[in-house]
Amino acid sequence: MGELAAGIAHEMNQPLSAISNYAQASKRLLQSASQENELKVVAALDKICNQAIRASEVINRLRTFVKKRVTQRELVDLNELIRETVNLAKVDTRILNHEIILELCHHNKPQLIADPVQIQQVLLNLIRNGIDAMEHIKGAPLHIHSQWLSDVMIEVSVIDYGHGIDVETGSSIFNPFFTTKETGMGMGLAVSQTIIHAHGGRIYFGPGRPSGCIFSFSLPAISDSQKDIEK
Ligand SMILES: Nc1ncnc2c1ncn2[C@@H]1O[C@H](COP(=O)(O)OP(=O)(O)OP(=O)(O)O)[C@@H](O)[C@H]1O
Ligand SMILES: [Mg+2]
């Protein structure tokens, strides 16, 4: 949550300090009143308005993410949650251009103590990012894989065959409002990271083979004793 707050503070700070600078300049211009200065004050006031709109847009964009909802942790069947989320993701019809391949831990069913809505939000973000990255690669599949990392930790991976992430982009993707997409908000991964950390897990990514990305998160989980893989 600290990183998210720092990113938001940074984003808000820019328009607010611009507003303060333009207001101070206007005050100085008014003190030495002339017709020329009057025009400059009008231009500065326009800039103040624009920057204030920018600041309120940041707040509005945030509102859509930080909906007030009491977090409710409950026992959640992870495989079921993944299947439900894939169905939900189909609302975005672009997903129909791709085969979604599930490779889930089957017999040793992982159970989470988690807020299912939040975990679903993380998965949806990762699925949408994978589909975005493969937008121009019709037919490329998206894999969703789960595996036990230890007796008490499960890992879920979303594997795409898209354009991948270069080193420079990779260093910023978890920052709030960082996006390379025309219509992106850049909040998907920042919010996902906050959710996963709050559940005691980690979220990370690496290169796919031969192309694309693997985004994974780990979470504490309760298990039976037997393990198998469902293909
Ligand atoms: N699977 C992926 N393949 C390639 N790049 C990715 C992938 N996932 C994330 N990225 C990069 O990370 C950036 C940040 O992702 P994030 O989900 O936080 O925001 P976004 O998708 O741009 O917007 P939104 O807020 O709508 O999710 C993306 O703009 C993209 O550049
Ligand atoms: Mg996203």
**DSSP for 114-149, written as a single string:** E-HHHHHHHHHHHHHHHHHHTTTSTT--EEEEEEEE
Domain at 74-230, CATH class: alpha beta
CA 109 to chain centre: 27
Question: What digits encode the pLDDT tens for the residues 145-156?
Answer: 999 999 999 999
| Ligand 2 geometric centre to CA of 129 (Å) | 5
What is the distance between the alpha carbons of residues 162 and 18, in angstroms, rounded to a whole number?
38
Query: In the predicted model, what is the mean pLDDT of the chain?
Result: 88
What is the distance between the alpha carbons of residues 32 and 46, in angstroms, rounded to a whole number?
20
| Ligand 1 geometric centre to CA of 190 (Å) | 10
What is the distance between the alpha carbons of residues 168 and 154, in angstroms, rounded to a whole number?
29
Ligand nearest to the CA of 140: 1
Q: Which ligand 1 atom minimizes the distance to the CA of 178?
A: 14
* Mutation to probe ligand 1, out of 173, 177, 195, 215 (largest number of atoms < 8 A from CB): 173
Question: What digits encode the pLDDT tens for the residues 75-129?
Answer: 999 999 999 999 989 888 888 899 999 999 987 889 999 999 999 999 999 999 9
What is the distance between the alpha carbons of residues 48 and 16, in angstroms, rounded to a whole number?
9
Query: Do 209 and 202 touch, CB atoms closer than 8 A?
Result: no
Question: What digits encode the pLDDT tens for the residues 15-40?
Answer: 888 898 899 889 888 888 788 888 99
Residues in contact with ligand 1 by the CB-under-6-Å rule are 125, 129-130, 133, 160, 162-165, 169, 173, 178-181, 184-190, 213, 215
Q: Which position has the higher pLDDT, 16 or 229?
A: 16
Confidence of residue 230 (pLDDT cuts 50, 70, 90): very low
| Ligand 2 geometric centre to CA of 32 (Å) | 50
Query: Do 203 and 216 touch, CB atoms closer than 8 A?
Result: yes
Confidence of residue 225 (pLDDT cuts 50, 70, 90): low
- Give the CA angle between residues 125, 114, 221 to the nearest 5°: 100
Helix (H) or strand (E) holding 34: none
Q: Which position has the higher pLDDT, 212 or 58?
A: 212
- Which residues have C-beta under 5 Å from ligand 2, the single-atom ion? 129, 188
